[in-house]
Amino acid sequence: MFNYWIKELRVLAEGKIEQLFSILDSSSELIQKAEDQSYLDSLIDTLSFMQSDDNDFEGLTSADAKKLTNIYADFDADQYTAETIRKGIQMAFLKAIRIDKIQANYQITPDTIANVIGYIISGIFHSKKELTILDPAMGTANLLTAIYHQLETSIGVTPTISGIENDDAMFELAADSVELQKIHAELFHEDAIQNVLAPVVDAVVSDLPIGYYPIDANAKGFETHSESGHSYVHHLLIEFGMKHVKKGGFGFFLVPSELFQTTEAKQLLKWMQGKVYLQGLLNLPKELFQNSAAQKAILILQNSGNGAKQVDPVMLGEFPSFKDQQAFTKFLTEIDDWEQEDLL
């Protein structure tokens, strides 16, 4: 997916986005060299400095502080839209992934995929006047804020958003990004598997981390925990997420395409019975992934209650290539029809 990201960001790197990225990058490179630290930590420092009014660049020489002051002189937050800020930060984080060799679970969800998820959410909640959304593994909050802006544009609703993130660096980046975008959000610097007191919402959305959760004692309170050994963190987060969705509400999760084909899937399926409905599983195009084993899908779940029922048929399929606009548009139309005629 990394190569796809690079191609997508070349399209984004125009005008104001490129200008903002240049400011973020110049500052981060200067701080990285001066402090002998990672590019990611330097980017976090950059975002913090950019929002400070006192120009107190602690730890830097007066010469470096002067250079930073000159760099930030070109930055006026009011000259950038929230979407431009989100995309500029996203480009800088992509560089951090490359420079710092950040592990795969911290990669950003590409905008094309975020837009597809947002499109599905818009269709389901098009008649809502208010909407609450939670991401239990928000990372840098890029997916959450991308969907936030999309819903504002597509259905005219400004969602109330919340996010949970355990990693220190990811949380700081998310908090700074949300603040710069002037979005009101409730963010929790917590481990969701430790049962955070997060709000109950209309919808949960998350690009889930994949792999094993290391603390077995924390997982024991979940029905999806493994009977022996470590449990899959993505199973636990699906359960956590759906426990924080209202009756009849939805969960939209980016998951491995083979989610239900593993040995551990029996616990997930057992938990789902009588609690949630599997309403859709849509594979993303294979071209986005280095191999078929890494392919991901959009999982659509709905909580029981409030008139919810198992849809017939379940929306199953695979998106055509995003490059084939005609086939892609046709598939979106099929999703529209399914939402209106079968799901809602």
| Percent of the chain scoring above 70 in pLDDT | 96
- 81 or 1, higher pLDDT: 81
Alpha-carbon dihedral sign for residues 339, 155, 203, 316: positive
Give pLDDT, residue 312: 93
- 1 or 228, higher pLDDT: 228
Any idea where the domains of the chain sit in the sequence?
1-100, 104-343
State both tokens at 227.
């009977």
State both tokens at 79.
């000259």
265-288: pLDDT as tens digits: 999 999 999 899 999 999 999 888
Residue position matching structure tokens 């991308």? 146
The full DSSP string for 38-52 is -HHHHHHHHHHHHT-
CB atoms inside a 10 Å sphere around CB 324 = 13
CA distances 151 to 121, 137, 154, 175, 202, Å, are 8, 20, 5, 20, 14
Amino acid (one-letter) located at 34:
A
Res. 1: pLDDT tops 80: no
pLDDT tier for residue 13 given thresholds of 50, 70 and 90: very low
Question: Worst-scoring range by mean pLDDT, 46-50, 155-159, 168-172, 285-289?
Answer: 285-289
60-82: pLDDT as tens digits: 899 999 999 999 988 888 999 99
Res. 238: pLDDT tops 90: yes
Amino acid (one-letter) located at 195:
N
- Cα separation, 109 vs 86, in Å, equals 13
CATH for the 104-343 domain, from 3.40.50.150, 3.20.20.210, 3.10.520.10, 1.10.10.60? 3.40.50.150
Average confidence score pLDDT of the chain: 92
296-332: pLDDT as tens digits: 999 999 999 999 999 999 999 999 998 999 999 999 9
Res. 8: pLDDT tops 60: no
pLDDT tier for residue 191 given thresholds of 50, 70 and 90: very high
pLDDT tier for residue 14 given thresholds of 50, 70 and 90: low
Average pLDDT score over residue span 178-183: 96
Res. 5: pLDDT tops 50: no
Residue 263, SS3? coil
Give pLDDT, residue 102: 87
| Percent of the chain scoring above 90 in pLDDT | 82
115-145: pLDDT as tens digits: 999 999 999 999 999 999 999 999 999 999 9
Asked if the 1-100 domain carries CATH number 1.10.150.470, the reply is yes
Res. 19: pLDDT tops 70: yes
- Cα separation, 177 vs 252, in Å, equals 23
Q: Output the furthest CA–CA distance in the chain (Å, rounded).
A: 67
pLDDT tier for residue 294 given thresholds of 50, 70 and 90: confident
Give pLDDT, residue 196: 87
